[in-house]
Chain A
Amino acid sequence: MTAPLKKALKIVSFTGLVLSVVPAFLVFGGIITKQLYLEIMFLGMVLWFSTAIFWIKKDHLDL
């Protein structure tokens, strides 16, 4: 995997993580609705799993 591609994947992955947690605080603050929060959570999950699998390395401990 090329370095720029890996960087792009990481950006998308971390965007997914941000989308998985920040909206909850916006619901708590009364800024967005719970329904919108649930939809953003789902989007965050899709972004994380569809990209992180390509750049997170495997473990090498023989347990």
Chain B
Amino acid sequence: MSSLKKSSLIERLDALYEYDREPVTEDKLHGWSTFIAMFSSEHIAGTEFVLGTLLVLHGVTAFDVFAGLAVGNMLAVLSWALMCAPVAVRERLTVYWQIRKIAGPYLTILYSGLFALILCLLAGAMVNVSTTAVSLTMDISSPNFIAGDTVPSIAWITIAIGVGTVVAVLAVLGFERLAHFAKVAAPWMPLVFLAAAVSSLPSLGITGMSNFWQIANEKIWTGVAREGQMQYSFWHCVGLAWLCNIAQHMGMGDVTIFRYAKKWQMGFCSAFGMFLGHYMAWICSGILCAAFIHAQTAAGDANPNPTPGNIAMLGAGYAGIVCVVLAGWTTANPTLYRAGLAFQVATPNWPRWAVTMIAGAVMIITACIPAVLHYLDRIVAYYGLFFMPLGAFIFIDFWLFPKLGLVRNYAERKGLMMSWPAAIGWFGSFGICFVLYAKDQYEAWAWVNDKLPAFLAHYKADLFSQVLPAWIIAVTLYTLCSVIQQKKSPLITEKEN
């Protein structure tokens, strides 16, 4: 009975993705402009208003932001162009099918389910962002987490429910039309970020390029973290920029997009998303955050609350408010749509609208937790580190396995339900990186230092500096275990028979 259930779950999941089981054909390939437009629009989200602000609150310097984000975004672009896109254009399959081939159906189901949960969380963060703007127009204060507001007011929750319900209903009713509207909003939104920041510079005393750098270091990126915030540095900026989309590039999530690319070089189109959304927009929202804090402090507010709504209103008025609502809304919708799609697998015979509305309920609950925005950078880092290993396996399976004489797509060819090397590589990599981080961050994990060799006990890891260690640990574990697995149980091909 149980095995019947499991196989029907796998069948349902496969059926859901059945339409893209075959590689994309030549006639469906797209050129540069498609990918430039797609990346430019997808990476200007409501959360850019949050992440740029967080860097200011975490006390980075102007050099950290300008140079660190440049390096981090460059690494992200190179990861897309040199790791993700080349595999995508050779295989032309979605990430779902690529994981299915190397990790087996069980791990693929787990990946899909957990991915759906994190998508709900991210969609919730985006609804939270939109709600800060809508509530401002109704003169309702957004929760100030730093000042101790761990739960929003009833009025704010009501608005969040309203915004979340609209997002969920639209995700059910008209995803395609909404995707079109998001595309229309895309060229306008980065201009609002830029305009809002430029127009706020005089309020900080910046009158030209001559005093920009000096005042930027004195009033915007001061190098001193605000009370209750961890101190960030150059490497945090590098790590955050590189990590925040790692599930898409090193984690190979975007092979699903680049399977439509005519050439692997189109991976460089990601630069438009990164340098507009995660460079220019983060810098602009940092300027807006500083301008808001400066204005509020001058007005006698001891605890300024630089929410996306507040800073956008200051910088661009009602156009800024519309920008925040749209930036949150247009990205929350496809995110929720994809989450609903993944959840649908586990809910046989449930109508699509019901599944999406349940995902919407999770999203709304998340939107009402102020801590989610406060720790968004950490959440994004955890999310990246957790989902990245499976993409690393796709990369290694494609490039390294043939050179080592190992069989590619072993799980699929052997008919395995689960690849144990993939399971060990996935959870081993995340587990080791988490413990190395947690031992110095959480009291409950401090005992680990006593058990570790001295060099590891002295290693002070931060989530943002774990990209390379996580990738190396993942591929090493996966490759070593695959060598053992394939040696113990070699694949016998028809030819050999």
Contact = CB atoms under 8 A, between A and B. Distances in A.
Name the prevailing secondary structure of the A interface residues.
helix
A42 B181 CA distance: 18
B188 A27 contact: no
Interface in A8-51: 16-17, 20-21, 23-25, 27-28, 30, 34, 37-39, 41-42, 44-45, 48-49
Interface string B175-200: 01001110111011001101111110
Nearest to A26: B199
A17 to B, nearest CB: 6
Nearest to B338: A63
Nearest to B180: A58
A38 B321 CA distance: 12
Contacts of B191: 17, 20-21
A36 B191 CA distance: 17
The size bracket of the interface on B is 20 to 34
Contact of A59 (B183, B196, B197, B256): B183
B457 interface: no
Contact of A58 (B176, B192, B201): B176
B260 interface: yes
Interface of B: 19-20, 30, 34, 37-38, 176, 179-181, 183-185, 187-188, 191-192, 194-199, 201-202, 256-257, 260, 316-320, 322
Given A48-B187, A61-B34, 9 more contacts: A44-B319, A48-B188, A52-B188, A53-B180, A59-B34, A59-B37, A59-B38, A59-B183, A62-B19
29 contacts: A20-B319, A21-B191, A24-B194, A24-B196, A24-B197, A24-B198, A27-B199, A28-B201, A38-B319, A39-B317, A41-B192, A41-B195, A41-B317, A42-B318, A44-B319, A45-B188, A45-B192, A49-B185, A52-B187, A53-B184, A56-B180, A58-B179, A58-B180, A59-B34, A59-B180, A59-B183, A61-B30, A61-B260, A62-B20
